[in-house]
Amino acid sequence: MKPAAFTYHRARDVEGAARLLAELGDEAKIIAGGQSLVAMMNFRLARPEHLVDIGGLDGLDGVRTDPDGSLRIGALATHHAVETAPPEAVGPGFAVVREAMRWIGHLPIRTRGTVGGSLAHADSTAEWCLLAVLLDAELVARGPSGERRIPAGDFFHGYYTTALEPDEILVEVVFPKPAPHAALTEFAERQGDFAVVAAAVDLRLDADGRSVTGGRVALGGVAPQPVRVPEAEAVLARGGPVGSGLFAACAESAAAAVDSPPADANGSARHRRRLIRTLVARACEEATAR
Ligand SMILES: Cc1cc2nc3c(=O)[nH]c(=O)nc-3n(C[C@H](O)[C@H](O)[C@H](O)COP(=O)(O)OP(=O)(O)OC[C@H]3O[C@@H](n4cnc5c(N)ncnc54)[C@H](O)[C@@H]3O)c2cc1C
């Protein structure tokens, strides 16, 4: 199917794009890589009357680690640009970010789809959304009234819904601290499909790397937005040697904590609960293997 008719606008800068969005109101949408929006328009799930193309804007595709250790990624950086960034841009402390890219669609999608587009689209199983929640990222948005920084924990409001105002543009995501013992893993029906369930952990290990002293656990595909799992994090906080039953206990606790996982054509609630158990344990193993 083809999309409904729309008027195309090419933005010259972020301020101009924000002004246009404010002028055009609810009937306007930003287009970046188009990898999600165009499909929705073709299926008539979205019918914007105006598209504001930010794809050509300069200065929004940077990928760099700052001297304070934070990783800053411009909204127009593609998934592939992050996957292939040099080590001085995405170092071993953020290996989880680089490696998570391989789970996103296929190469042609990764070369066009953008980090900002994925975060703004807010699919509950999207790898960027899960990483943002896991690593306490800050999302930087700019609109007619200036710039604001939104913690990932406050950004995702539900299925495909975020804290962004209709005239705001996501310009950057900032991951504040390296996570050298983090991993993301998932299960999808076929290579390149969206995950049915995705799990990510960020473990704290002691100096010799033999004991876990705490960590964070996040899940995608089990609720309208990616979620942290405090019950599983409490198990990690109790600590214990790597390779003990700690990871199994953490996984069990994550599976028990999720309140009625969704049931749909991709799997029953029971199937998803089993996936949580398997994937959390696997992510813990992968995180400690770094
Ligand atoms: C076959 C297929 C498989 C895929 N598999 C996966 C997968 O496994 N995991 C995954 O995460 N994604 C997957 N994707 C989606 C892909 O990652 C998209 O690139 C991403 O969801 C959207 O990025 P985009 O730049 O293409 O955004 P667009 O499609 O251009 O826009 C998406 C939405 O975000 C808004 N938007 C875009 N940029 C901004 C911005 N800077 N500020 C504010 N709003 C903005 C748009 O208005 C629109 O509502 C898949 C896509 C396809 C077609």
Q: How does DSSP assign the chain, residue by residue?
A: -PPPP-EEEE-SSHHHHHHHHHHHGGGEEEESS-TTHHHHHHTTS---SEEEE-TT-TT---EEE-TTS-EEEETT-BHHHHHT--TTTS-GGGHHHHHHGGGSS-HHHHHH-BHHHHHHHT-TT-HHHHHHHHTT-EEEEEETTEEEEEEHHHHEEETTEES--TT-EEEEEEE-S--TTEEEEEE-SSTTSPPSEEEEEEEEE-TTSSEEEEEEEEEESSSSS-EE-HHHHHHHHH-EETTSTHHHHHHHHHHHHS-S---BTTB-HHHHHHHHHHHHHHHHHHHHT-
pLDDT tens digit sequence for 221-271: 999 999 999 999 999 999 999 977 999 999 999 999 998 888 988 889 999
Residue 288 pLDDT > 80, yes or no? yes
77 pLDDT tier (thresholds 50, 70, 90): very high
pLDDT the model gives residue 266: 86
Residue 16 pLDDT > 80, yes or no? yes
pLDDT the model gives residue 110: 98
Which of these CATH numbers, 3.40.720.10, 3.40.50.2300, 3.30.750.24, 3.30.390.50, describes 183-288?
3.30.390.50
- What is the whole-number distance in angstroms between the Cα of residue 105 and the centre of ligand 1? 11
Q: Which residues line ligand 1 (CB under 6 A)?
A: 29-37, 39, 75, 103-105, 109, 113-114, 116-118, 120-121, 123, 126-127, 164, 169-170, 192, 194
Q: Ligand 1 pocket check: which of 8, 37, 61, 142 to mutate, most ligand atoms within 8 Å of Cβ?
A: 37
Give the closest residue (by CA) to ligand 1 atom 49.
121
Q: Ligand 1 pocket check: which of 8, 118, 130, 160 to mutate, most ligand atoms within 8 Å of Cβ?
A: 118
Location of each CATH 3.30.465.10 domain in the chain: 63-175
Thinking of the domain 7-52, which architecture would CATH place it in? Answer: 2-Layer Sandwich (3.30)
Give the closest residue (by CA) to ligand 1 atom 11.
126
- What is the average pLDDT value for the chain, to the nearest integer? 96
| Percent of residues, the chain, with pLDDT higher than 90 | 93
| Percent of residues, the chain, with pLDDT higher than 70 | 100
Nearest to 22 by CA among 169, 150, 155, 171: 169
282 pLDDT tier (thresholds 50, 70, 90): very high
- What is the whole-number distance in angstroms between the Cα of residue 4 and the centre of ligand 1? 19
- What is the whole-number distance in angstroms between the Cα of residue 192 and the centre of ligand 1? 14
Which of these CATH numbers, 3.30.530.20, 3.30.465.10, 3.90.1640.20, 3.50.50.60, describes 63-175?
3.30.465.10
Location of each CATH 3.30.390.50 domain in the chain: 183-288
